Amino acid sequence: MGSAPDELEVSLWRGGEAGRYEAYRVPLKENQTVLDLVTWIQRYLDPTLSYRFACRVGMCGSCAMTVDGRPRWTCRTLVAKILKGRRLEIGPLQNLPVIKDLAADMRPFFEKWQRAKGVFAPSQTRREAPAKIPPQSALRIAADAAIECINCGICYAACDSVRWNRDYLGPAALNRAWTLLNDARDKGNAERLRAVSGKDGCHNCHSHQSCERHCPKALNPTASIAGLKRKTLEAYLTGRIAG
């Protein structure tokens, strides 16, 4: 299907796992984001199109899709910046089941978040005075480097180790575990170290840094995972966790 100069041919994944790409013509506009294209198709061509978004400003992490083979946050991706030619192919995030059209099923992603103990385990109650964490402390600096994650799943979709081992906890959950490991207020580290050092844990990471390359928040889960590998090794050598 050809497209006029001010039009774009946009192929969207339609259906579930056994779906197919279908092409639509969408008018090109200035400052258009990939999410705008999808929204235009839903508004003007096919209201049954399913996709996910909320904030549209890069905060909620819900709009991630595969755009021309790369996982991206669609609300912050300008069409003009990534367009090569006059075609764009948009599908659901990879490495996750497809619910319908562009909506991937994020459940495995968040289940692994729980399995990696990526959940704060408070050591104090609200009746105690708030903990004082000096901004210059080594722990705080380590946590800071990894903390801005918006749970978008882009790193997870980009990770070959997840592709090869569907049980691998993946970059986002491990990155979160690393921030909590460095959180002086948290008391769940014994369990967390066990959780991330099992057979589907941090040692499955090959350090090829696709996660870092694609993370829209410019985080480096590979570095966090390297930190986990160090900490779990220490814990293993000192007998705090079993192999």
Partner 1 sequence: MTVRLYLWQRLTAALMAPMVLAHLAIIFYASRQGLTAAAMLARTRGSFGWALFYGVFVVAASIHASIGLNNVLCEWSPLKERGSGVLASAFGALLFLLGLRAVMAVVS
Q: Which residues bind ligand SF4 (CB under 6 A)?
A: 149-155, 158-159, 161, 171-172, 175, 205-211, 215, 217, 219, 221-222, 225
Partner residues linked to 87 by β-bridges: 9
The entry of ligand SF4, partner 1, ligand FES, none near residue 198 (CB within 5 to 8 angstroms by kind) is partner 1
Mark 62-101 with x for binding to ligand FES (rule: CB under 6 A) and - for no binding: xx---------x-x--------------------------
Stretch that binds partner 1, among 38-46, 106-114, 123-131, 229-237 (CB under 8 A): 229-237
Characterize the bridge pairing of strands 7-14 and 87-91.
parallel
Given 13, 61, 67, 210, the residue binding ligand FES (CB under 6 A): 61
Nearer to ligand FES, 154 or 202 (CB): 154
The entry of partner 1, ligand SF4, ligand FES, none near residue 210 (CB within 5 to 8 angstroms by kind) is ligand SF4
79 in Cβ contact with 43 (< 8 Å)? no
50 in Cβ contact with 71 (< 8 Å)? no
91 in Cβ contact with 17 (< 8 Å)? no
To partner 1, the closest distance from the beta carbon of 202 in angstroms equals 8
Nearer to partner 1, 214 or 231 (CB): 231
Looking at this protein, which amino acid is placed at residue 87? R
Ranges within 39-58 binding ligand FES (CB under 6 A): 53-56, 58
Nearer to ligand SF4, 43 or 208 (CB): 208
Question: What is the binding site for ligand FES (CB under 6 A)?
Answer: 53-56, 58-63, 73, 75
